[in-house]
Amino acid sequence: MSTEQGSRWSSVRDYLDETNERDLALNLLLPFVILVGWEIGAWAGLINTQFFPAPSAILGVAGQMLADGSLVHNTLVSLGRIIPAFVVASAFGIVTGLLMGWSSRIDTIIDPIVSALYPLPKVVLLPIIFLIFGLNDLSRMVALGAAVYLLVTINTVGGARQVEEAYLEAARDNGASGYRMIREVIFPASLPHIFSGLSLAMGISFILIVVVEMVAAQSGLGYIIWNSWNLFTIKKMYVAVITINVLGIVFTYGIEAVGSYLTRWQERI
């Protein structure tokens, strides 16, 4: 079982390295044209502002939502669901993956379960978890956590299995076993794979949290989107979508940036 290597962030970082001033103008051209065209089109009546309200109008509503506290509150609610679930599940996932990489006996037992669940589109975990745990904040977090756990375990074990035999032998000859073997050899060597797992898991967490909050919650950014659809308060919908996008950029690329910093001894892929 191979795992996806090379992150989106590494493409972004490489691009930032190679870019120059002439490019910068081009970089900003398209967003500028879209925003200005949208704004002018909206004021001139060329665009249906029911569906595509002017950026300035969206900004105004964003200001209102910041002032009345609803944007901050619902953002914190969504993050309060993602972050604990993500941290706990990925810690368990890394430990499971490392143990599988360390002991072939553990690997033989767990691998069939993991391989069977692997091709499952992770979103089908939602109804299964809701069935078992009911519908509450804990079950929402368990559903996120289950997907994160699977992805991180799979990627970690993919990394742990690729540790070069020479390193393992050298460590063994020097008396390393058990905990030290995992901590000093397998874990650092698996880090690049662990971080691709973490970044994939973060992406899935964002998809799941939006789906969960749309249909099975009364708060959070996904709920704002769904509620705005029901009430036709479309500017609020845009504000929530943009907020989720910004959080996605910070968290997904953030994790990948931390990963490439921690594995900077590795060749750039």
Partner 1 sequence: MTDWGANRDLMVRIGSFVGILVVWQILIGVFSVVPAFLLPPPTTILAALGHLLGQSSFIDDVRITLIRVAIASLLASIPGVILGLAMGWNRTVKALLFPIVSATYPLPKVALLPLFMLVFGIGDKAFIVTAAIAATFLVMFNSMRGVADIGTLYFEVAQDNDVDSVYTYFREILLPGALPMIFTGLRLTLNTALLVTISIEFVAARHGLGAFIWSRWNTLQTPQMYAAVFVVSLAGVGITYGLEWVADYAMPWRTETTGTAVQ
Residue 4 CB, shortest distance to partner 1, in Å, is 5
| Binding mask of the shown chain, residues 235 to 264, with x at each position contacting partner 1 by CB under 8 A | --xx-xx--xx--xx-xxx-----------
Return the range that interacts with partner 1 (CB under 8 A); candidates 2-10, 67-75, 81-89, 257-265.
2-10
Q: Is 92 in the site for partner 1 (CB under 8 A)?
A: no
Q: Is 41 in the site for partner 1 (CB under 8 A)?
A: no
Nearer of residues 9 and 185 to partner 1, judged by Cβ: 9
Q: Is 46 in the site for partner 1 (CB under 8 A)?
A: no
Q: Are 175 and 117 in contact (CB under 8 A)?
A: no
Rounded distance between C-alpha atoms, residue 212 and residue 224, angstroms: 12
Q: Among 79, 123, 191, 262, which residue interacts with partner 1 (rule: CB under 8 A)?
A: 123
Q: Is 97 in the site for partner 1 (CB under 8 A)?
A: no
Q: Is 190 in the site for partner 1 (CB under 8 A)?
A: no
- Reading the block at residue 267, the tokens are 């060749």
Q: Is 211 in the site for partner 1 (CB under 8 A)?
A: yes
Q: Is 86 in the site for partner 1 (CB under 8 A)?
A: no
Q: How many residues bind partner 1 (CB under 8 A)?
A: 70
Q: Are 71 and 78 in contact (CB under 8 A)?
A: no
Q: Is 131 in the site for partner 1 (CB under 8 A)?
A: yes
Q: Is 4 in the site for partner 1 (CB under 8 A)?
A: yes
Q: Is 170 in the site for partner 1 (CB under 8 A)?
A: no
Q: Is 225 in the site for partner 1 (CB under 8 A)?
A: yes
- Reading the block at residue 69, the tokens are 């506290």
Q: Is 120 in the site for partner 1 (CB under 8 A)?
A: yes
Residue 82 CB, shortest distance to partner 1, in Å, is 11
Q: Which long-range contacts (CB under 8 A, 24 or more apart) does 82-86 make?
A: 82/144, 82/205, 82/206, 82/209, 82/251, 84/141, 85/141, 85/142, 85/144, 85/145, 85/148, 85/205, 86/144, 86/145, 86/148, 86/201, 86/202, 86/205
Where along the sequence are the contacts to partner 1 (CB under 8 A)?
A: 1-6, 8, 11-12, 15, 19, 22-23, 26-31, 51, 108-109, 111-113, 115-116, 119-124, 126-128, 130-132, 151, 154-155, 200, 203-204, 206-207, 209-211, 214-215, 222, 225-226, 228-229, 232, 234, 237-238, 240-241, 244-245, 248-249, 251-253
